[in-house]
A and B are shown apart, each in its own frame.
Chain A
Amino acid sequence: MTGTHTDTATEPTPPREDGGPGPRAPGRSRRDLALLIMPTVVLVLLLLTLSTRNSDLLTADGLLALADSAAPLMVLAIGATLVILCGGIDLSIAALAALSSVLFAMWIPSLGPAAAVAVVAVGGLAGAVQGLVHVTAKVNSFIVTLGGLALWSGIALVISGARTVPVTDIGAIQWAFTDVAGIPSAVLIALAVVVVLGAVLRLTPAGRWVRAVGHAEQAARLSGIPVGAVKVAAFTASGACAGLAGVLLVARTFSGAPTLGATLLLPAVAAVVVGGTAITGGLGGIGRTVVGALIVIVLRVGLSLVGVDAGFESIIYGVLIIGAVALTIDRAKLDVLK
């Protein structure tokens, strides 16, 4: 690990019989710790830097507004994290969120708040379909979900008649935009997703199955891990998260639209990677994505607020996102970087 990265198994620093502490390099755990907190450090540094130009950012209101803004992106990115951990990618999340927003707005009159459940279920179903196509037809997930991106947004256009669908019963979505004890409910919903999925990944075998599939799919399959099912489940969860993100989007615009949230795809993937999850799969986690989503939001919103010209804003965003990734990813565990 600290040595050359080519020596993977045959004779790399094996522990001797009288091994004592073994091959754990002294600096190893400190480095791991550094990698663990690096995304947070980057976030804090960004906030501090930006707040020198706009002091409102670091106030309690400013931070809450940031978190509130980040909520839909965070939910989307968490779903994407699961798929990326499995070694795939889901490019359909933003389009699926848009479709969900349309469905949600259309279903509220008949279902009321329960429409949210239905929409999340539909999102999950759409994700499952993509997962099944990916697993059974063995089509690269990039392509499957790229096709999904076009398909879901096409369906959203058709069923909405290409129009914005207003929510007529605001009461039915109030739960998603009020606040509880001063904290916006969208933030709480996002946190709930983090907690639930985080618990599933950490406490049940699902987490290690996902990581095993991402690290070494073949080895996972040959240990009897239901690889296909794990992948389909990851896509399903990603779809459901996209559905929930669609609901959150509706709750802040009081309407659903076939292009609502469509621009969130690349920021969501960026959030995953900036958080330190390896795009090649296996390494990373949901907690990291939460921080990653906050970093991306700070970059997107913060930069425009400190009064930089649009052109320079974009350049600085590009430079900072590369810089953030350079600081947060764990290179030592990646033999080949693509």
Chain B
Amino acid sequence: MAARMSRLRGTALVGSVCTALVLSACGGSDTDTEAAGEGSGSGACAPEDVVLVGQVRNQTNPYEASWLEGGDAFAESVGLEQQQLTYDGDSQQQQEQVRQVLASGEASCTVINALPNGDSDTTPIVAAADAADAWLVTQWNKPADLDVTEYDRWVAHLTYDGVESGRQIAEAMFEQMGGSGGIIALQGILDTAAAQDRFAGLEQALEENPDITLLDDQTADFDRATALEVTRTLLTQYGDEVRGIWAANDDMALGALQALEAAGRTDVAVVGIDAVPEALEAIEAGTMTATVSSDGPWQGAVGLAMGYCAATGEIDVADIDPDDRAFFAEQFLIEEDNVAEFTESSVDVEELSCDNLFSRATGPIAAS
């Protein structure tokens, strides 16, 4: 019977989504819209009853591993344990895990801090969490038309401004290149918002710097080995014309660095995004020009903290500034002169008190 209940809630969600989209095809379900409002934006869970769940793709890359570490650190600070879920970059598995976590029916004290695999995966996660009354924080990926403020228990969605990151590193690279020359761009997995936004940032920067030519852009799937192969081929094609390599993440930038090393080139500026330890080392060593930090440990911790504070009633979701429900978090351009500040990255649990959760918000996510 509980299953039936949760199914009904699912239907309710659909109703609300439909309403939000102002679509006529949803006839007959308007009564359900009321039902969605019943949930409360403030929980009354005893702190020890809260279940903390952190979900990322895998533990085999430094960034996401540090995410989970941050989550663990927070959980420890409140005397709980984080349930770690990894879905191996597999959307289906992510959905299945969420379903099973929530299948118990009584999930009103469950907090999920999730990294959806792609934009399209966020919708069902939100739906499932809402149906089970679980507290949810999502990061990075969200379809633009999905509005956090329509939900009581989807505390927040936070991400980094990909356009901004793409532009910042591009400008740092152009500066290093002296404002002119040819560059190549390594794109991420094409159907992700991150890849597209970051590339859009590069394009903005290119418009402002007409002396820079984009020789070629290829996808390297956010993958180091692929980036290596693609870079080598492009280096063959364009040879000395290549003065800069813009990569949509650090892994690809590092792959490009390997290719440059193999080709014996030291005159090429390379930039990436994510601030993974190896990239920081490369910046310290001067082989890489710049990266942008997205603070993994903080993300892992703050998501749980938001859910925890809401579940225990210390904050009321309804009271959160709507601009903070879906926000861009602060990010830092890391270059040789400031890299030392970032090499020792860990989460400061003190920063995560319930009244300080949104201090890193730099503004609402602009509707695209």
Contact = CB atoms under 8 A, between A and B. Distances in A.
A135 interface: no
Interface in A157-213: 157, 160, 162-164, 166, 168-172, 174, 177-179, 182, 184
B31 interface: no
Contacts of B25: 112, 169-172
A120 to B, nearest CB: 19
Interface in A44-82: 56-57, 59-62, 64-66, 68-69, 72-73
Interface stretch (B11-19, B152-160, B342-350): B11-19
A69 B7 CA distance: 14
B189 A59 contact: no
A297 interface: yes
Nearest to B4: A182
A174 B191 CA distance: 25
Main secondary structure on B side of the interface with A: helix
Interface stretch (B119-127, B254-262, B275-283): B119-127
Q: How many interface residues does chain A have, given as a range? A: 35 or more
Contact of A252 (B17, B105, B124): B124
A152 interface: no
Contacts of B119: 164, 255, 257
Contacts of B3: 60-61, 64, 179, 182
B18 A170 contact: yes
A254 B91 CA distance: 13
A264 interface: yes
Contacts of B27: 171
B93 A263 contact: yes
A163 B196 contact: yes
Contact of A256 (B87, B92, B103, B120): B120
Contact of A177 (B2, B4, B10, B26): B10
A252 B95 contact: yes
B85 interface: yes
A257 B104 contact: no
A310 B14 CA distance: 34
A178 B4 CA distance: 10
Nearest to B190: A162
A112 B26 CA distance: 12
A28 interface: no
A260 interface: yes
Nearest to A301: B96
A150 to B, nearest CB: 14
A57 B124 contact: no
Nearest to B68: A310
B85 to A, nearest CB: 6
Contacts of B60: 310
Interface string A98-132: 00000000000000100000000000000000000
A311 B88 CA distance: 11
B99 interface: yes
Main secondary structure on A side of the interface with B: helix
A65 B103 contact: yes
A310 B100 CA distance: 17
A255 B120 CA distance: 6
Contacts of A221: none
B210 to A, nearest CB: 27
Interface string A277-302: 00000000000000000000100111
A257 B118 contact: yes
Contact of A253 (B2, B58, B99, B120): B120
B319 interface: no
B18 A171 contact: yes
B26 A310 contact: no
Contact of B97 (A166, A261, A301): A301
B59 interface: yes
Interface string B266-293: 0000000000000000000000000000
B226 interface: no
Given A157-B191, A252-B95, A256-B120, A310 B101 contact: no
A163 B191 contact: yes
B90 interface: yes
B96 A59 contact: no
Given A59-B104, A259-B118, 20 more contacts: A59-B105, A64-B3, A65-B102, A69-B95, A164-B191, A170-B17, A170-B25, A174-B14, A178-B11, A249-B92, A253-B91, A254-B124, A255-B120, A260-B91, A260-B120, A302-B100, A304-B97, A310-B58, A310-B59, A310-B84
10 contacts: A56-B100, A56-B103, A59-B104, A62-B103, A68-B99, A162-B190, A177-B10, A184-B7, A257-B191, A261-B91
Interface of B: 1-4, 6-7, 10-11, 14, 17-18, 21, 23, 25-27, 58-60, 83-93, 95-97, 99-105, 118-121, 123-124, 127, 143, 145, 189-191, 196
